[in-house]
Structure 1
């Protein structure tokens, strides 16, 4: 991975843990790698690598999760026809999805927000997502909705919905999560020293 534009750290209240992501945003693409540690729903440690194609559409997510019961590994890929594989096995239920959503991670909320400019413009969008629950990484489809609620001094407040779950997400001018109600709060955003 090339040098990141930014390094983000969140306190993840829902897991009792933290996540740090090294992120490169450029020319409609996002690349990142990160690490997270949590205590809930059980103690875990994970690492991930994320790559998107043009338009912030997920191309690949590789995640490794360590728990007291063992290690889980997921290689999630989307091809040019929006067909997904998980560890090489086709997942037909994800056909047409453009994004992955790594559970308990505020980073993966960024792609649909940027693609539809919801951090800048009014609107609502529903998405079929490849949801990856942590720590088991057993990928499944998830319908999620994002709504631009109000502009903020630097970014916007968005409404988020999935099934009966509702929350609000504050993002900065780059579409990166600052605060995800009930899930995470960003502690730091740092640029590498040149």
Structure 2
């Protein structure tokens, strides 16, 4: 199977009140994406990112730039072949078991564990740690997360996502990409 490309856009009313568009390329079990987002809170900002995974959709790198009226912040987050995460070249503690990045307010990064474990298609659940990146601050912290397959119907699946006090039952499309994340984002179509 060759590479497949998708363009996905979400309205993100939670937290920042904004939008995100991602240009995604899936090739086998690897994924590359570049995205743009904007938010209005705490202050208006623009965000752009580039995400790259290796086999099994394990994060290799996430580069993020946030621009606001007062500052430009940049983050280069990378996971090496030994599982060591670095933010701007410095090791990040607590991520020894993490395979995924989780860009705050971005429904795209919630797709990685769903796809890896096929939770949009098959019963199961996974507890994991992700490298969570706060937006717009770009601070990296460990985040304990839990994903549970809730069911499927033609062209859609349901997966429960829990992290700390946040809980949402995701609706995902047949490819595992988030369509609706109540409390965070809703995908929109230009058609």
Using the size of structure 1 for normalisation, the TM-score is 0.93
Corresponding residue for 1:12?
12
Matches within 5 A, 1:1-194: 5-14=5-14, 15-188=16-189
CA offset at residue 4 of structure 1?
A: 6.4
- Does the 8 A contact of 2:149 with 2:159 survive in 1? yes
CA offset at residue 10 of structure 1?
A: 0.7
CA offset at residue 42 of structure 1?
A: 2.5
User: Which gives a bigger RCO, structure 1 or 2 (Cα 8 Å, sep 6+)?
Assistant: 1
CA offset at residue 47 of structure 1?
A: 0.2
- Does the 8 A contact of 2:87 with 2:140 survive in 1? yes
Deviations 1:2-33 (A, max 9, x none): x9611111111112211000000111011000
Deviations 1:45-74 (A, max 9, x none): 100000000000000000000123301100
Secondary structure at the counterpart of residue 189 of structure 2:
strand
- Does the 8 A contact of 1:6 with 1:189 survive in 2? no
- Does the 8 A contact of 1:83 with 1:96 survive in 2? no
Deviations 1:159-188 (A, max 9, x none): 110112111110001110100101111112
Cα RMSD for the two superposed structures = 1.4
Distance between the aligned counterparts of 2:144 and 2:98, measured in 1?
Answer: 10
| Structure 1 unpaired stretches of 5+ | none
Secondary structure at the counterpart of residue 110 of structure 1:
helix
| Structure 2 unpaired stretches of 5+ | none
Displaced runs of 4+ in structure 1, greater than 2 A? Answer: none
Distance between the aligned counterparts of 1:62 and 1:106, measured in 2?
Answer: 16
- Does the 8 A contact of 1:7 with 1:189 survive in 2? no
